[in-house]
Structure 1
Amino acid sequence: MTDQQGISWLNDTGAILNFIRRLIKDLPELQERLMDLNEGDLLFSQGDPLEHMYLVLEGNITLTRTQPDESEVKLITLGPGSFAGLIAFTTGEPTLTSGRISQKGQALKMRPQQFEQYLNDHPRLKHPLQQLMLNNMIQRYKSNLRLQTRTHLLSKELNKERNDLKKAYAQLEETHQMLVHQEKMATLGELVSGFAHEVNNPASALMRAAENLVEIYSKFESSHYSYKLFRLGLQSTPVDSNTQRNRMLMIEKRYPWIHDRSSVRKLAHMSDEALDLIDANRKKGEMDTLINHYEAGKMIHNIRIASQRIANLVKSLKSYSRQDQNKEEHADIREGIQDTILVLSNRLKFIDLNLKFNDIPKTCANIGDLNQVWTNIIVNACDAMKDQGKLTISTEATDDFIFVKISDSGPGIPEHLIPKIFEPNFTTKNQGAEFGLGLGLAISSEIVGQAGGEIEVTNKTGGGAQFSISIPIREDC
């Protein structure tokens, strides 16, 4: 036999086993080491010292390991040509596994001292056994590599599933927060609508009372001085503080006998035409009556203005709240922006508001939802400018889109935060900046996206931030 043929033979487990079986027939001491493998029998238990090693000639032995939770994991099945108890046999340590016969057969049972003796006494047996042990080690190593690879793949899949689960949970939390926010907005809309309805009744009553008073005064002769003073009071306009002070000095010189500061102040508010009318009809003891005729007209004028403002605010509140929030309508987006501005008038009273409303077509959209977008952005701008500065809102259109731009004169947004500005629960206010509403801008982005549009934010060259919103022009609702 050549060296190459010898190597090939030693690599053939079946040939080695046949060779060992022939040696067993020739060697009585090996025959004494033969044992039958009966299916179901336990050869050794995990953690026990192992006194023997088993070379499987026929049949199968299954190795298992008990986990801390007492569950049993099947590791490997050893067939003919395999050694059972090889690691414990080699290291002298307790066995790491349990071995149970899963298919009947035969095995060569050997103690460590006997194994070494067989190798020394029978040189022909030495190389085949060593080769079988080497083959077993190689197979165990390959099996371990496959197990490590599989474990790595499973670990990657587990990490991916865990990351997917985190994303799903984050999306679920985001959706939950948005639903909560939308529910609050819906409730707020109902409250606003109810409040507007209740306020509308007394406002209408004020308007009717004012008109009734005007009608009562109209029964006077139009040429009578009292009616003329009343009509002049209806047409009164406010004066600034500096003009008021100068006119009060003039009144004190013109009517030196009047010492009541309240009367002086009321006369200073009157027009020159009203003062001339008082001079022409003045009699001792009638000055207060003449002043009261003018004041009556002025008060009714103020009631008219206040009532009309209340009526306009009620109208805007009703329009802003939009009880049909889940319905689209064919409307002018500019009207929703104007309603939003009126509702936010308290926040805007110290803001230099610049409106550039170019003509735009009506479009099919959920105006109530869009009003929420304008509210979030305008409130953000007021926060950024600390309620002082310039706010510009413009509209324009192309054939397919309506564009709304809202820009402020605030500090702008740090460039590294712009990509995150529309993320849910992201706010820069906690970081010392002045922009971000947490859910507000995320919901705004969601609303614009549902409308088929886009929302972007940039920093202006001269300072401040600009939001650009595009809404598609649609005829169908």
Structure 2
Amino acid sequence: MDIQQELESNEHLSSVPKDQIQWLTDHSELLTLEIGDYAFRKGDLVDKLFIVLKGRLRIFFMQGNQQIEFGYNEKGHIGGSLPYSRLQKANGNGVAVDPTLLLALHTDYFPEMIQTQYELTEMLVHLMIDRVRDFTKFQQQNEKMISLGKLSAGLAHELNNPASAVIRSSDALKKHLNSVPLKLKKVVSMQLTAEQVDQVNEVLFSKIKAGPRINISLMERTSLEDELTDWLEEHGLNNAYELAECFVDYDLTANDLDFINQKVSTSHLSSVLDWLCNVLTTEKMVNEIAEASTRISKLVKAIKEYSHMDGGTDKQKVNLREGIQSTLTILQHKLKTKNIEVKLDIPNDLPQININIGEMNQVWTNLIDNAIDAMEDHGQLHIKSFKDRNFIITKIVDNGIGIPEEIIGMIFDPFFTTKPVGKGTGLGLEIVQSIIKQHNGKIKVNSKPGQTEFNVCLPID
């Protein structure tokens, strides 16, 4: 193989003088790789510039136990260390998928190249800028997919609960309504006076208006059920326990049963109480379906607001509270899993600011998600926004383990992460800082064990 000719035909080197290509050839070495051989592994020292003369390398990253493919270094690709690059260790893996030949220039020759081979150096610097841009774009997309996966898992869980409640309650309601015709027949056959019906309805409607009992302890409920069961059994009702369970739900007491017993004859008491239980049970099931459906509706609304489906990529005047609340709704599963108490202190009359809603929601997601990860069970998260001159300051404070002093200055650096392999790419906070800068804002952090505070400052105008 004529190395000089191969390099001169390389599209990246087409503008480089032949004598500089000759210099590159003279100072480089040839590396031969068989299929399956690694050109580099994640964490390896990057101390060579390489050019693929033949074959190809597959580039991939490990995300947990999964390989995330970045692409292929085909014939003509220039990679490895480049002039002025800060890359010291490989971020991924490169393995030969064909018999591969590389031309490698050690970084020891870079000072000489920079001083004497101007056009070659200039081309490599431009190549480095393009490579950083492409790699960062890939990692940002990967970070978004990781976040999307986390959010999707949480939302699936959040939606599953009310959806299951709707199915369960609707099935129970369908079975329950099958018995309505028989009970209605018994009620109709009683031939109660209009006054008696009004008196029973008065009790029924007052209980429905008050709604079902919510905060009642198991001990209190058991005591009330026992009291009602005793009353019902004393008055000859065979289904005493079933009725007692139903009546306790709507706070129907023994005094209420005494009142009804006085207004209807003893022979009709069983049918009247059966009908009351039937109506209250139906009301309860309908309420459960309505509550679950409302919960689903709120989640869908939060997803719509969070993803900003109806908007474009332009900035809009909005109140920060809406975006932060929708983000908290999206992350509700993680908050509930760790029993984290959230205190939201954002005035409704806070001045609106001009932001890209989708991008700022990504900021809130990263900051809140990191805070959740930093806290133990029963942690406390405080989010506060207020006006300060011509700015809106938002503080996100958690009582987690804190950020060690020796690394706090690096947390906004690209690819820096303290999370285990597969749990993060190290681009979350770098993206946060980038988005805030695009909004002419600033982000600062103060941290000590038990209190970490991120301050996001955004201009009102």
TM-score (norm 2): 0.56
Q: Quick one: which of 280, 298, 306 aligns to 2:259?
A: 280
Give the deviation of 1:352 after TM superposition: 0.9
| C-alpha contact (below 8 Å) 1:325/1:367 kept by paired residues | no
Within the candidate set 124, 133, 136, 1:174 is matched to 136
Residue 344 of structure 2 aligns with an amino acid whose one-letter code is L
Quick one: distance in 1 between partners of 2:241 and 2:376? 39
CA drift of 1:348 comes to 2.0
Counterpart of 2:378 in structure 1 is: 388
Given the alignment, which residue of 431, 456, 461 partners 1:469?
Answer: 456
* Corresponding letter in the other structure for 1:361: P
- Quick one: structure 1 residues 160 and 266, their matched pair in 2 at CA, closer, same or farther if it must change by over 3 Å? farther
What residue is the counterpart of 1:43 in the other structure? none
What does residue range 269-348 of structure 1 map to in structure 2 within 5 Å? Answer: 269-272=249-252, 276-282=255-261, 283-323=269-309, 324-348=311-335
Provide, for residues 14-48 of structure 1, a one-character-per-residue CA deviation record: whole Å limited to 9, x for no partner.
xxxxxxxxxxxxxxxxxxxxxxxxxxxxxxxxxxx
Rounded to whole Å, the distance in 1 between the matches of 2:312 and 2:258 is: 60
> Could you report, residue by residue, the CA deviation over 1:437-457 in whole angstroms, capped at 9, with x for unpaired residues?
622222222211111111222
Aligned residues: 309
Separation in 2, partners of 1:187, 1:427: 19
* Secondary structure, counterpart of 1:404 in structure 2: strand
DSSP 3-state at the match of 1:289: helix
1:317-466 correspondence to structure 2 within 5 Å: 317-323=303-309, 324-349=311-336, 350-358=339-347, 359-430=349-420, 438-460=426-448, 463-466=450-453
Counterpart of 2:213, as a letter, is T
The structural deviation recorded for 1:465 is 1.4
Say whether 1:233 aligns with 2:222: no
Mapping of residues 112-131 of structure 1, within 5 Å? none
User: Cα–Cα, structure 1 residues 291 and 70, in superposed 2: closer, same or farther, change >3 Å?
Assistant: closer
Amino acid in structure 1 at the alignment position of 2:314:
K
Match of residue 93 from structure 1 = none
Answer 1 or 2: higher relative contact order, Cα 8 Å, separation at least 6: 2
Asked if 2 retains the 8 angstrom alpha-carbon contact of 1:426 and 1:436, the reply is: no
* Cα shift readout 1:175-225 (whole Å, capped 9, x = no counterpart): 3322455689899999x9xxx9xx99xx9xx9xxx9xx9xxxxxx999352
Please say if residues 347 and 387 of structure 1, whose CA atoms lie closer than 8 Å, have aligned partners that are also in contact: no
Q: Deviations over 1:312-347 (max 9, x none)?
A: 222222111102251211110111111111222222
Deviation string for 1:55-102 (max 9, x for gaps)? xxxxxxxxxxx999899xxxxxxxxxxxxxxxxxxxxxxxxxxxxxxx
What value does the CA root-mean-square deviation take over the aligned residues? 4.5
Q: What residue ranges of structure 1 are gaps of 5+ in the alignment?
A: 1-65, 72-150, 214-219
Displacement of 1:354 after TM fit? Answer: 0.9
- Listed as ranges, the matches of 1:176-191 within 5 Å are 176-179=138-141, 181=143
Instruction: Measure the CA separation in 2 of the matches of 1:229 and 1:381.
Output: 49
Between structure 1 and structure 2, the one with the greater Rg is: 1
SS where residue 254 of structure 1 aligns?
Answer: helix
Q: CA distance change for structure 1 residues 259 and 223 in 2, over 3 Å: closer, same or farther?
A: closer
Offset at residue 275 of structure 1 (A): 5.1
Query: In structure 1, what is the Cα distance between the partners aligned to 2:151 and 2:330?
Result: 13
2:317·2:354 contact (CA, 8 Å) conserved in 1?
Answer: yes
Determine the C-alpha separation between the residues in 2 that align with 1:348 and 1:454: 27
The percentage of counterpart residues that share the same residue type is 30
Q: TM-score, normalised by structure 1?
A: 0.54
What is the letter of the counterpart of residue 452 of structure 1?
N
Alignment gaps of 5+ in structure 2: 1-21, 28-108, 178-193, 262-268
1:154 alignment partner, one of 112, 132, 143: 112
In structure 2, distance between residues paired with 1:448 and 1:315: 25
Shift of 1:287: 2.7
Distance 2:279 2:257 in 1: 10
Letter in 2 for 1:263: L
Q: CA 1:390/1:239 → structure 2, altered by over 3 Å: closer, same or farther? A: same
- Structure-1 separation of matches of 2:305 and 2:312: 10
